[in-house]
Amino acid sequence: MAVQRRMPESLRVASWNIDSFTARKHELQEFLSRLEIDVVTLQETRLAENIRTKIPGYVVYRQDRNRRGGGVAVAIKRGIDHYMLQVPQLDTIEAVAVGIRTRRYGEVAVASCYHPPGRTILEQDIEALLTVGPRVIAIGDFNAKAQDWNSRQLNPSGAALRPVFIVDPQVLRTP
């Protein structure tokens, strides 16, 4: 029996730096259920390839770092019309992305991103990430600081992200 996929009018999207999927799995499930989240991006999942990730009612896509820390995932409700996207090789950002077909906005890409502290985000990584789909929501923990999103200071990663926020008015400005 084929699974019927629906194209939602809108999506309820959340992001969480989970700092260990296995340690917070039950808390995550309660969060998704209580807030009726359609798509969640997770950062610092800290998973290895041999660890299974099951979230009842969701399909999970992930990119594991396979060494200490890091890792990202996107979980999307079963039944929503979606597909995995190929993320280009990035030097300073860990990312995994899905394409979602919506009635109102057409195809939308949602990417879960993590940039570890201590390195500077490369502008070409941001540019490459924004090419994975026609409309891209790149969401996650960039460890970037700038006054534009209510930080008291500007760090090199914040400086690298600022041009994206200034040039593209569609980009949501949030910490």
**What digits encode the pLDDT tens for the residues 62-83?**
999 877 789 999 999 999 999 9
Cβ atoms of 136 and 109 within 8 Å: the answer is yes
What is the sign of the dihedral through the CA atoms of 56, 58, 61 and 67?
A: negative
Q: Could you tell me which of 92, 124, 98 has the C-alpha nearest to residue 111?
A: 98
Cβ atoms of 137 and 153 within 8 Å: the answer is no
Classify 91 in phi/psi space as left (phi over 0), alpha (psi -120 to 50) or beta: alpha
Q: Is the pLDDT of residue 154 over 50?
A: yes
How far is it, in rounded angstroms, from Cα 83 to Cα 44? Answer: 22
Question: How much is the pLDDT for 172?
Answer: 52
Confidence of residue 175 (pLDDT cuts 50, 70, 90): very low
At the topology level, CATH places domain 13-167 in Deoxyribonuclease I; Chain A (3.60.10)
Q: Could you tell me which of 164, 117, 158, 155 has the C-alpha nearest to residue 136?
A: 164
Question: How much is the pLDDT for 170?
Answer: 56
When the pLDDT of each residue in the chain is averaged and rounded to a whole number, the result is 89
Question: How much is the pLDDT for 114?
Answer: 96
Question: How much is the pLDDT for 152?
Answer: 92
Q: Is the pLDDT of residue 37 over 90?
A: yes
Both tokens of residue 67? Answer: 């060494």
Question: How much is the pLDDT for 134?
Answer: 84
Both tokens of residue 64? Answer: 């594991």
Cβ atoms of 18 and 28 within 8 Å: the answer is yes
Q: Is 148 exposed, middle or buried (0-12, 13-18, 19+ CB in 10 A)?
A: middle
